[in-house]
Amino acid sequence: MFRLVCVECGKTFPPDEIVYNCTSCGHLLAVQYDLDTLNVDRGEWNRRPLSVWRYREILPVTIPPVSLKEGGTPLYHLSRIGKEIGLPYLYAKHEGMNPTGSFKDRGMTVGVSMALQLKKSSVACASTGNTSASLAAYAAKAGIPAVVLLPAGKVALGKVAQALMHGAKVISIRGNFDRALEMVHELCLSHGLYLLNSVNPFRLEGQKTIGFEAVDQLGTVPDRMILPVGNAGNISAVYKGFTELISLGLMDRMPMMTGIQAAGSSPVVRAVHQNLPEVIPEDHPETVATAIRIGAPVNAEKALAAIRKTGGTAESVSDAEILAMQKALARMEGIGVEPASAASVAGVKKLVEMGVVDRDERIVCVVTGHLLKDPETVIRQCEPPVEIDADLPSLLSALQLS
Ligand SMILES: *Cc1c(COP(=O)(O)O)cnc(C)c1O
Ligand SMILES: [Zn+2]
């Protein structure tokens, strides 16, 4: 059993109440389980396939879930990049290997299942792209309609393609993500659609399994988890999951939660560096990493707590650093990710250079979305293919062979 609890005032709400923010103080809600009466058997978990649903005892879904087989993503040792930046124990968890190519699927399998469990018949979200692609696919699997609001002209091509093909009603607004979220929130409250942005506490429940899997795959608790931060839901989710494993006696220490933002869109970094009690929103966030182009992170209060309570930190990286690391991951490790995803690894490189990260730390970087999400940014960075006449001499000359 679980309840929803306000993270600020502690007010509780029953599991079947449809509520996105505390009705007393307006702050975020979190799912709370009765962990001391819960019977979780690590051995039983280990017999199940590595996936979101391996951990179903600490997920809120009681009906057969709406699943496309999400999670179970690879954890790669970054041997070449690690060697170059001086980190022998550097790993990447490739969330681009989920059904629609981003970690958002972990949240959506739980979120859309909860929509059905709560007897909702339509779903909606605002999105920088990946949330809409994922919601569209899971709504299709559930057989219910989905509405998605996107900031016009600011969504990577692959993501729009997915949302359209999976049959969501796709609306582009002449405004940024933060405005799209306000609008869809109002729409859901007034017209009864179920809101599946990361203000929805159930989505974060699915996303926390990234951390569970990383611990299971590594066979030990990492010293540090590094995540790109947009709305700050994912870093909050992974932290919450770890607190639950510690309460259950399944983990003995907490990794340092570390968030990376793009320099042009870094309100969480500023709040951490200046030790502000809360995040000051940015009105005009700008970065090539469109998935984290967010000025007013919805889950900022949860993320600041996660970073501060674990002795973690936050840092920003430039677009040039992001794109250089995207290329390095692709060319040195064979790992294809979208720009936002490369921010976590670009961030660890910078933190090592700054002396913030120790060289013997065991570090898991979450790389959040697949290379094919944003082909336009890729094409802009690479030389186009060389076109030649269809004969061998032309081929040899193009390859500079004789
Ligand atoms: C959503 C997303 C993020 C940001 O995650 P938040 O939970 O909003 O902080 C980062 N990278 C990719 C690829 C995403 O889709
Ligand atoms: Zn409250």
Between the CA of 340 and the centroid of ligand 1 the distance, in Å, is 7
pLDDT 10s digits, 208-239:
999 999 999 999 999 999 999 999 999 999 99
- Count of domains forming the chain: 1
Domain assignment present for residue 198? The answer is no
**Domain CATH for 291:** 3.40.50.1100
Domain assignment present for residue 375? The answer is yes
Between the CA of 309 and the centroid of ligand 1 the distance, in Å, is 22
Cα–Cα distance measured from residue 264 to residue 378, given in angstroms and rounded to the nearest whole number: 20
Between the CA of 291 and the centroid of ligand 1 the distance, in Å, is 6
* Segment holding 77, helix H or strand E: strand 75-77
Residue 234 alpha carbon, nearest atom of ligand 1: 7
Length of the chain: 402
Domain assignment present for residue 301? The answer is yes
Domain assignment present for residue 341? The answer is yes
Residues with CB under 6 A from ligand 1: 102, 104, 130, 198, 228-234, 291-292, 338, 340-341, 368-369
Q: Whose CA is nearest to atom 14 of ligand 1?
A: 291
Taking Cα atoms as reference points, which of 38, 26, 27, 39 lies closest to residue 2?
A: 38
* Segment holding 361, helix H or strand E: none
Domain assignment present for residue 85? The answer is yes
Q: Could you tell me the two tokens for 249?
A: 């006696």
Q: Whose CA is nearest to atom 2 of ligand 1?
A: 291
Domain assignment present for residue 81? The answer is yes
Which residues are CB-neighbours of 117 under 8 A, at least 6 positions away? 60, 61, 62, 63
- Please tell me the number of the ligand nearest to residue 343's CA: 1
pLDDT at 116: 98
Domain assignment present for residue 277? The answer is yes
Q: Could you tell me the two tokens for 121?
A: 């018949």
257 residue type, one letter:
M
Residue 237 alpha carbon, nearest atom of ligand 1: 7
pLDDT at 198: 85
Q: What b/e string do you get for 78-97 counting C-beta neighbours within 10 Å, with b at 16 or more?
A: beebbeebebebbbbbbbbb
Domain assignment present for residue 324? The answer is yes
pLDDT at 39: 85
pLDDT < 70 positions in the chain: none
Domain extent, residue 235, equals 75-101+203-381
Q: In this structure, are residues 277 and 300 in contact, taking their beta carbons and an 8 Å threshold?
A: no
pLDDT at 1: 85
pTM of the model: 0.97
- Please tell me the number of the ligand nearest to residue 25's CA: 2
SS3 state of residue 315:
strand
Q: Whose CA is nearest to atom 5 of ligand 1?
A: 230
* β-strands 146-151, 90-94 pairing: unpaired
Cα–Cα distance measured from residue 257 to residue 235, given in angstroms and rounded to the nearest whole number: 7
